[in-house]
Amino acid sequence: MDRILIVDDEEKIREVLREYGEFEGYQISEATDGMEAVNLCKNNDFDLIVMDIMMPKLDGYSAVKEIRKYKDIPVLMLSARGEEYDKLFGFEIGIDDYVTKPFSPKEVMARIKVIISRNQNLETKNKKFVFKGLEIDFDGRNVYVDGKKAEMTPKEYELLFFMVKNKNIALSREKLLNEIWGYDFFGDDRTVDTHIKMLRSSLGQYRDLIVTLRGLGYKFEDNE
């Protein structure tokens, strides 16, 4: 489950973002000012920070700079000010996105999803994914299940790698067909279902990490 820290001195804003965030399946933590956010980040890991700018004790810009000294956490900045200077300064210190108040909670959630997905893709590129006894070596194109190398077809590898790099994101059958087989592929949704069945068999006890989304497609779900 992805962890989000919401930092804002306005309680109502924190409540709204918490409600929408938890509905989307995120684990939400809160801080009322920049100083509290810095202390929380020192002792906890987060996948994204939603940071207000104007706050008591320590403003959002200063908090981001302090946090970046020891942790590289993506940041979505909130501000009641929409001046170009504020946005440019935010991007200069390394924030990932900027939303001006008042905002649509749905839009904020959409932006959060994009940032987390992009960051996870960067983390998995040229690295390994490990979940208990399941180890996926992207560069070496190898998959190990409890220490034993899994023998898969080329399409199984491609399907698994794509789903893991987009873990916890709902993927339609059409999306998987387009990404793995190509837009000009002559076939139907049963091709995806057949390969998912084969892939689950290859994953053994970790087959349940691939979740079926009724009427839509599949999702590789890693909630630990």
Domain definitions of the chain by residue range:
3-124, 128-220
CB 124 within 8 A of CB 138: yes
Compute the 3-state secondary structure of the chain and give helix, strand, coil in percent, each to the nearest 5: 45, 20, 35
Count of C-beta atoms within a 10 Å radius of residue 28: 17
The domain made up of 3-124 has a fold known as: Rossmann fold (3.40.50)
Q: How far apart are CA 27 and CA 3, in angstroms?
A: 5
Structure-model confidence comparison of residues 1 and 113, the more confident one = 113
Q: Is the pLDDT confidence value at 87 over 80?
A: no
Q: How far apart are CA 110 and CA 127, in angstroms?
A: 27
Q: Is the pLDDT confidence value at 88 over 60?
A: yes
Q: How far apart are CA 48 and CA 81, in angstroms?
A: 22
Starting from the edge strand earliest in sequence, which strands make up the sheet with 142-145, in order? 128-131, 134-137, 142-145, 148-149
Q: Is the pLDDT confidence value at 40 over 60?
A: yes
Mean pLDDT of 36-51: 93
Predicted TM-score (pTM) of this structure: 0.56
CB 206 within 8 A of CB 164: no
Q: Is the pLDDT confidence value at 124 over 90?
A: no
Mean pLDDT of 5-14: 95
Strands 142-145 and 171-172 come out as unpaired
What would the CATH number be for the domain defined by 128-220? 1.10.10.10
Structure-model confidence comparison of residues 80 and 104, the more confident one = 104
Q: Is the pLDDT confidence value at 33 over 80?
A: yes
Q: Which of 33-37, 38-42, 136-140, 156-160 has the lowest mean pLDDT?
A: 136-140
CA–CA distance from 86 to each of 62, 68, 73 (Å)?
Answer: 13, 19, 20
